[in-house]
């Protein structure tokens, strides 16, 4: 069993290293992999020391800790199933509005996640020329312009006219994206697409349903091969937190 704990710990810490190298050491929720890796290594160390000093490590307490850890991991794994259901969807047709959910802007340039959303929004807008795009996202730390303005610049530079774009520049969470977009346009009562990266679509639709959107459909942008596992785990944690603490402000 010690080998399993050791391998799991090394894999978690190595994955954090890959995330840090690819997206930066402060990538959102990346601390999870450090924490989980340390927990696995502590279990490995406990097993090794218990073989030498069994009197210091009650078996019952260790088994309780193992069951608790496995239960948490099992719940998170189960929640990944609905998250996966929002990935690789067929694009909806005849929507009046499409809310493009904001993501991080690096100074004035879109992050990888936001760029993938914009590429999907551009392709969808060309395929459905009558829909209006609601570009939703305020300005966060390290951002020189709002996420909505960053999206506007990209889309207009690629041929989408200004009169097809509505900017919502106050929101900082997915819930606020949907609330403020509806206040501007009344989109919750119309056929409305919600566009985000594939891992995020399920939670965004759940929030929309809770907010009273009557005809919301998911539009999934491509995920990131390096970050996909991380983002799916993060979404699972966000869904669990939402079910425990209620409607909340997770981005």
> Is residue 232 in some structural domain?
no
pLDDT at 248: 47
Domain end among 43, 60, 85: 85
The pLDDT assigned to 145 comes to 96
Pair (125, 62) in one structural domain: no
User: In the prediction, which pLDDT does 18 show?
Assistant: 96
Of 51, 85, 119, which one is at a domain's C-terminal end?
85
Name the DSSP class of 197.
Answer: E
**155 within a domain of the structure (yes/no):** yes
- In sequence order, what E strands does the chain have? 97-101, 105-106, 109-110, 132-136, 165-168, 192-197, 216-221
**Do 167 and 122 fall into the same domain?**
yes
DSSP-derived 3-state class of residue 50: helix
Q: Is 29 inside a domain boundary? A: yes
Residues 106 and 56 in one domain: no
Is residue 103 a contact partner of residue 137, using CB atoms and an 8 Å limit?
yes
70 and 143 share a domain? no
Domain holding 137, by residue range, is 97-225
Domain count, the chain: 2
Contacts made by residues 81-85, CB under 8 angstroms, sequence distance 24+: 82/202, 82/239, 83/199, 83/202, 83/203, 83/232, 83/235, 83/236, 83/239, 84/202, 84/232, 85/202
Q: Quick one: pLDDT at residue 249?
A: 44
Give the pLDDT of residue 86.
81
3-class secondary structure, 155: helix
Rounded to 10 degrees, the C-alpha dihedral 24/141/207/83 comes to 0
Q: Give φ, ψ of 220 to 5 degrees.
A: -100, 125
Note the pLDDT of residue 58: 67
- pLDDT score at 242: 80
The answer to whether residue 246 sits within a structural domain is no
Q: What CATH number has the domain bearing residue 128?
A: 3.40.50.620
Indicate whether 141 and 219 sit together in one domain: yes
**Same-domain check for residues 117 and 55:** no
Same domain, 57 and 126: no
Q: Are residues 38 and 153 in the same domain?
A: no
Residue 144 CA: distances (Å) to CA of 109, 178, 196: 9, 23, 22
pTM of the model: 0.82
Separation of alpha carbons 224 and 81, rounded Å:
18
Q: Is residue 248 part of a domain?
A: no
Residues 80 and 158 in one domain: no
In a domain, 230, yes or no: no
Please list the pLDDT of the chain residue by residue as tens digits (251 residues): 788 989 999 999 999 999 999 988 888 899 999 999 999 998 888 776 666 666 556 666 777 888 888 898 999 889 888 888 888 889 999 999 999 999 989 889 999 999 999 999 999 999 999 999 999 999 988 899 999 999 999 999 999 999 999 999 999 999 999 999 999 999 999 999 999 999 999 999 999 999 999 999 999 998 888 999 999 999 999 888 888 876 544 45
Q: Do 144 and 27 fall into the same domain?
A: no
The answer to whether residue 237 sits within a structural domain is no
**Helix, strand, or coil here: 211?**
coil
- Among 60, 85, 110, the domain-final residue is 85
Same domain, 70 and 187: no
- Please tell me whether residues 61 and 124 are part of one structural domain: no
- Sign for the pseudo-dihedral over CA of 97, 102, 107, 112: negative
Q: Which tokens belong to 197?
A: 């990266």
């Amino acid at each position: 069993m010690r080998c399993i704990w050791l391998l799991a710990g090394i894999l978690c810490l190595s994955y954090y290293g890959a995330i840090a190298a690819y997206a930066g050491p402060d990538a959102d929720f990346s601390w999870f992999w450090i924490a989980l890796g340390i927990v696995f290594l502590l279990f490995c160390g406990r097993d090794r020391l218990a073989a030498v000093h069994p009197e210091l490590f009650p078996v019952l307490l260790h088994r309780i800790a193992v069951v608790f850890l496995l239960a948490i991991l099992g719940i998170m794994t189960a929640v990944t199933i609905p998250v996966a259901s929002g990935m690789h969807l067929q694009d909806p047709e005849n929507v009046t509005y499409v809310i493009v959910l904001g993501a991080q802007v690096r100074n004035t340039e879109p992050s990888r996640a936001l760029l993938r959303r914009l590429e999907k929004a551009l392709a969808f807008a060309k395929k459905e020329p009558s829909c209006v795009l609601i570009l939703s996202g305020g300005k966060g730390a390290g951002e020189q312009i709002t996420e909505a303005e960053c999206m506007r610049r990209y889309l207009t530079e690629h041929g989408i006219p200004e009169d097809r774009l509505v900017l919502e520049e106050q929101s900082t969470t997915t819930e606020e994206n949907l609330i403020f977009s509806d206040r501007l346009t009344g989109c919750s009562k119309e056929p409305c697409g919600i566009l985000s990266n594939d891992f995020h679509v399920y939670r965004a639709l759940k929030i929309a349903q809770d907010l009273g959107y009557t005809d919301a459909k998911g539009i999934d942008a491509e995920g990131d091969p390096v970050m996909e596992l991380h983002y799916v785990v993060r979404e699972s944690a966000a869904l669990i937190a939402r079910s425990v603490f209620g409607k909340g402000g997770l981005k």
